[in-house]
Structure 1
């Protein structure tokens, strides 16, 4: 349940790019994008910062480590539009743009510095995948002391169990969970 949002809160949208939205997701992507776009419009109306994150894992150190899990790899090259944010998410010049190489949008990027310049103390997280980019970024945000709100209806994952696990066990330990509408309602207060 969302009890409050900090006065200086930013919206952070994770990996709403062509390469990611076309993966075999456990929930339909259209409502995730629709709710993310609603959050985007509400944050802009409230004149609060928006962060648009995409991922480019090709040639990152993390992409070269041994793993048991099946890799979702483009074989070293990505299609031309793979990193582009989908058109449902209208990106503006004033948005903070972050390209990450790993799950955590704070790791080895300028995200924390950009948020600190704006006096941001809280973030609202949404995007894909729940237990990868969103959870990885949430863990980094928690370590840096941000108050976090999770938009439960603006996320999905590749695996139902990991999606449920994040919402049941991880997110409540890192912040507060609510719907897009609940978050937007708190923006006005």
Structure 2
């Protein structure tokens, strides 16, 4: 089945200890998200799947930042999520070679991006998602992918949230619209 592996917000500001809004950094480290993401990307390369890394970011003047959003209202004050800054760089240990990069202006990777067009241009039927945060980027993107009629799989061990309870609750909710899988499962896809 034509498949895309999509990694969400594996960027410094969100998941690295140096990040300006990295509430999930500790969980991401404990769960070894980046090393597992690299393994998944290698499997995707072997299987000739489309590899996409999506990151949230705003222009340096923050003109596109939704200041009324409870989630994004203060990022300009923190200097977070500014495109071209270290904060929107992918985690330094992430192997992004051969990956298409998509920049999103909101939580959902489909909103305001060409992600759906890229997937359809490549006849993709199944999307496999991992990312930080499970409760926000992964869940909102999974819901959108489901509503766009993609088969959705969530790589549970490539996701992290601010705490284990938030992560687990999100995974339980997504199990109604997606297949929950683990890194070891990818080899049999």
Sort the TM-score into its range (normalised by shorter chain).
0.7 to 0.9
2:15 paired residue number = 21
1:141 paired with 2:145, answer yes
1:102-117 alignment to 2 at 5 Å? 102-117=106-121
Moved more, 52-61 or 152-161: 52-61
The 5-angstrom pairing of residues 150-165 of structure 1 reads 150-165=154-169
TM-superposed CA distance for 1:95, in Å, is: 2.4
Normalising by structure 2, what TM-score?
Answer: 0.84
Provide the residue aligned with 2:19 in structure 1.
none
Unaligned runs of 5+ residues in structure 2 are: 17-21
Answer yes or no: is the 8 Å Cα contact 1:60–1:102 preserved in 2: no
In structure 1, what is the Cα distance between the partners aligned to 2:148 and 2:128?
15
How far apart are the structure 1 equivalents of 2:75 and 2:165? 22
SS of equivalent to 2:158:
strand
| Mapped contact 1:13–1:53 kept (Cα < 8 A) | yes
Structure with more contact order per residue of length (Cα contacts < 8 Å, sep ≥ 6):
1
1:167 maps to which residue? 171
Distance change (3 Å), C-alpha of 1:42 and 1:73? same
Alpha-carbon shift at residue 113 of structure 1 (Å): 0.2
- Three-state SS of the structure 1 residue aligned to 2:86 is coil
RMSD (Å), alpha carbons: 2.1
- 1:91 aligned onto 2:96: yes
- Structure 2 distance, partners of 1:72, 1:29, is 25
| 3-state SS in 2 of match to 1:37 | helix
Contact 1:96 1:114 in 2 (8 A): no
Instruction: Give me the whole-angstrom Cα distance separating, in 2, the residues matched to 1:133 and 1:71.
Output: 17
CA distance in 2 between counterparts of 1:66 and 1:156 reads: 22
User: Could you say which residue in structure 1 is the equivalent of 2:47?
Assistant: 46
SS of structure 2 residue aligned to 1:88? coil
Which residue does 1:123 correspond to in 2?
A: 127
Contact 1:53 1:100 in 2 (8 A): yes
Scaled by the length of structure 1, what TM-score is found? 0.84
Tell me what 1:9 maps to.
3
Corresponding pairs, count: 176
